[in-house]
Structure formats: C-alpha cells, structure tokens
Amino acid sequence: MRGRLAQRPRRPVGGGRHVSEWFAGIDLGGTSIGGLAATRDGRMLAEETVPTQSHEGPKAVLQRIGDLIERLSGRCGSTPKSIGVGVPGLVDLASGATKFLPNLPTQWRDVPVREVLSRRFCVPIGVLNDCRTATLGELAFGHGRTVRTFSMFAVGTGVGGGVVVEGRLRLGPLGAAGELGHQTIIPGGSLCGCGNRGCLEALASGPAITAEGVRLLLSGQAPGLRALVDGDVNRISPQTIADAAAAGDAGSRSIVERTAEYLSVAAANVVTALHPEMIVIAGGVAEMGELLLEPVRRGIRERVRMFPADDVRVEKSQLGDDAGVRGAVALAVQELESR
C-alpha cells in the first residue's frame, strides 16, 4: 500500500516449524515489496520486506516476488495454500494482469502477474489494487470485525481507498470502485497525477503536505517547523509538520487543518452517498493521529445536513503499516474459498 513507510527485515513468527496451512500476502510498492505468511485467521507466521528495484522491469520484479514467497515457504516448512498480491494500480480482475501502475517507472501494462506466479507455485492467485487490498485487510482483521459498512482513505504517497458495504468489498466492473483520492475537491485546482485538477490526492497526499511545509518554512511562516528540522527542508514530512503543529507552530497547524478540511469534504461526500458506520484513515499521514482526525470529524458534521452524521465514526486504521500485506493474505484466503 502507498502509505507504507519503513522496510522490515526477515522476522519469523512461527518458530520455523512446519505449518500445514498458511497463506502468502504480497504488497507490491514503488520502493519495496512486503511479504507475509499467515494463517487463515490472520495469525502472522513470518514476514519480510525487500527492495522493489522496479527499474529492472516486471520480469525481474516478479522473480523477486517469487523468491520472497519461496523464502517464506522455507520458514513455514510448506508451500502456501494460495497467494494474494496487491499492486499499486488497476488490474484486470478476470485475468489478474496489470492494466496501469503509475507508481512503477517501467512498463507495467498488461503484465500477467497471476499467470506468472501460478506457473511457479501451482496454487490459486488473487491480484487486486493495493488500496482495495488494504481495505480488505481492514475488513478481515481490523475495524471490519465490528462494523459492516465503512470506507477507507489510504493517505500516503498518494490517496487511495476502498468501500465496504454490508460486509463486502465493492469493486465495480474494473476493480476501480473506491478511488476516493480522485474526487474533485477544488475545481481547476492543482494538477493531479491522474490528469484531473483539484483531486484530493493533489491536495492532501504526503507529498502535497510536505510541499506546503517547505513553502511555509522558506517564506518564514513556520518558525517552529524550521527549528524542529534545523532549517533542513529535506527533513520535512507530514510527521514533522504534525509534531511542529502539536508544539504550537501556527503555520504547521494551518497545514494540518487545511489537510483535514480537504479530507472532510471528501469524507462528507462518501457519508452522504453511503452513510457508512465508519470512515477509516490509513497510510503514513494517519500517523498524525487525533490532530488530524478530530477536525475531519468536525468537518463531516458541518457538511452532512440531510441526516445526523454524529454516529459516523472517524478512526485510524487498526492495521497500520501491515494493512497491505494482511489484506493480501485475506485476498489469498478469499481466492482459495472461491474455488
């Protein structure tokens, strides 16, 4: 998922013993590939993160994914029952081939991910957009255990999302349902990577927040932020901006409040359309915590007037950085059960 921040080394959780039934989850990102071995109920057995090195091309990356699954298999003492793969873009749901992966710099159009991995492992393979996969993880192992209808905003390098209605992840005919980051928030606003102007992603993603922090620091409007990073703009991030805001820096506080306003507009649209029980905020930007979440709640209440919105909860993801790989495990289980 695009919100994942840190790489992890190998970590065996199952003690290296033989496991008769387990599932492999893969989260393919622009800079790293996360792999997780887990049981059907989500108990983590082993995990590992490796560099994507996407400049080497799809064939090399798929080889690297396969090698990662082989290492997980060695630590579990058996092969997985099925494999789930989350990818950062659109997927042909029928074939399991990529359609468009904008965050990977080499050519990833029509790459047969399912076919390649199926030939190597001879088990069911599920392939899905990474943010929808993370939403599936939240459904199976996070907030979805207590609510049946929710929408998730994954706010990191970009802004993705997913929609769950009555306990089911909704995909639409192209698997694109839930692209919540590409709602138009400001018509004619900043250019988004999708080609539209004024999308939520162009306004509230991690890079957009960071760019605003750099602008305010250089213009002298964020002295607290400047002190926190010792004047080094390369150290500015959503988290340092949040830390400066919490310490009383007015400029940084304005960035957080503006980000929350943009998110609340998008979330209010979703609440009006679906009336979910919960809005889940995931990804690196969610680490701002209540500093971000409380003004989002307030903004939703101010904007939704057709019915009471006080009962719509706004919460941080329960899975954190593991949402992508744990969602991929849930996808693997779902793929096996659908056979």
**pLDDT tens digit sequence for 232-259:** 999 999 999 999 999 999 999 999 999 9
pLDDT at position 1: 61
Co-location of 70 and 165 in the same domain: no
Co-location of 105 and 242 in the same domain: no
Write the CA distances from 118 to 96, 133, 137, 205, 210, integer angstroms.
10, 19, 22, 35, 40
Co-location of 84 and 207 in the same domain: no
Q: Is the pLDDT of residue 14 over 80?
A: no
Please count the structural domains in the chain: 2
Give the pLDDT mean for 252-277.
Answer: 98
Give the pLDDT mean for 79-103.
Answer: 93
Q: Is the pLDDT of residue 5 over 80?
A: no
pLDDT at position 102: 78
Co-location of 312 and 331 in the same domain: no
Enumerate residues 6+ apart whose C-beta is below 8 A from 135: 152, 154, 161, 162, 163, 164, 169, 178, 327
pLDDT at position 18: 74
Give the residue among 334, 325, 332 at the shortest CA–CA distance from 138. 325
Question: Contact at 8 Å (CB) between 152 and 108?
Answer: no
Q: How many CB atoms are located within 10 Å of the residue 50 CB?
A: 18
Give the CATH number of the domain where residue 237 resides: 3.30.420.40
d(CA 257, CA 260): 5
Co-location of 114 and 147 in the same domain: no
Specify if 4 maps to a domain: no
Specify if 167 maps to a domain: yes
Half-sphere exposure of 258 toward its Cβ, with a 13 Å CA cutoff? 18
Co-location of 233 and 333 in the same domain: no
pLDDT at position 17: 62
Q: Is the pLDDT of residue 94 over 60?
A: yes
Percent of the chain with pLDDT over 90: 86
Co-location of 223 and 262 in the same domain: yes
Q: Is the pLDDT of residue 75 over 70?
A: yes
d(CA 115, CA 93): 13
* Bridging pattern class, strands 125-129 and 150-155: unpaired
Co-location of 125 and 156 in the same domain: no
Specify if 138 maps to a domain: no
pLDDT at position 4: 45
Q: Is the pLDDT of residue 177 over 90?
A: yes
Specify if 137 maps to a domain: no
Confidence class for position 13, pLDDT limits 50, 70, 90: very low
Give the pLDDT mean for 53-76.
Answer: 96
Q: Is the pLDDT of residue 333 over 70?
A: yes
Least confident of 2-6, 104-108, 236-240: 2-6
pLDDT at position 200: 98
Q: Is the pLDDT of residue 9 over 70?
A: no
Tens of pLDDT, residues 285-310: 999 999 999 999 999 999 999 998 99
Specify if 34 maps to a domain: yes
pLDDT at position 110: 93
d(CA 157, CA 277): 26
Tens of pLDDT, residues 118-173: 999 999 999 999 999 999 999 999 999 999 999 999 999 899 999 999 999 999 88
Specify if 135 maps to a domain: no
The model's pTM: 0.90
Give the pLDDT mean for 268-279.
Answer: 97
Domain that holds residue 199: 143-318
Specify if 5 maps to a domain: no
Specify if 40 maps to a domain: yes
Co-location of 289 and 332 in the same domain: no
Co-location of 97 and 171 in the same domain: no
* Bridging pattern class, strands 83-87 and 125-129: parallel
Q: Please, what is the average pLDDT of the chain?
A: 93
Co-location of 180 and 301 in the same domain: yes
SS3 177: coil
Co-location of 245 and 113 in the same domain: no
Enumerate residues 6+ apart whose C-beta is below 8 A from 95: 112, 114, 115
Confidence class for position 174, pLDDT limits 50, 70, 90: confident
